[in-house]
């Protein structure tokens, strides 16, 4: 298989992720779009690792680090989304522009 096939697929996935981050107002969908972008990067890392036949498998090892960071990002992001929902009763990012509490 040519190197261009997974690179184009990764570029399309990354473009869809960028669109999801810029166009969505729901915080959960924005987190999903960020995960899509990270998976596109992982696809490119694996493709370059297979193409270069690296002896130390740096593409695969770096992919493991990215997956670990993505798991931590999901945990922190979902905690923020839950806190946002508890405080504002909405996960709409347009309504969450201020960090301070609203006056009761």
Q: 56-81: per-residue pLDDT in tens?
A: 999 999 999 999 999 999 999 999 89
Mention every residue, 6+ apart, whose C-beta is less than 8 A from residue 37: 13, 14, 17, 18, 21
* φ, ψ dihedrals at 26, nearest 5°: -85, 130
Q: Over range 28-35, report the average pLDDT.
A: 95
Cα end-to-end distance, the chain, whole Å: 62
Domain 4-88 class in CATH: mainly alpha
pLDDT, mean of residues 22-48 = 95
Domain boundaries, the chain: 4-88
Residue 24's contacts (CB-CB under 8 Å, 6 or more residues apart) are: 30, 33, 93
């Amino acid at each position: 298989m040519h190197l261009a096939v997974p690179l184009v697929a990764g570029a399309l996935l990354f473009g869809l992720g960028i669109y999801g981050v810029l166009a969505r107002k729901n915080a959960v969908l924005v987190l999903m779009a960020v995960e899509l972008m990270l998976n596109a990067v992982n696809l490119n890392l694996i493709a370059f690792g297979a193409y270069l036949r690296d002896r130390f498998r740096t593409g695969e090892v770096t992919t493991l680090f990215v997956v670990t960071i993505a798991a931590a990002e999901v945990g922190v992001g979902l905690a923020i989304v839950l806190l946002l929902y508890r405080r504002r009763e909405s996960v709409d990012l347009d309504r969450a522009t201020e960090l301070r509490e609203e006056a009761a």
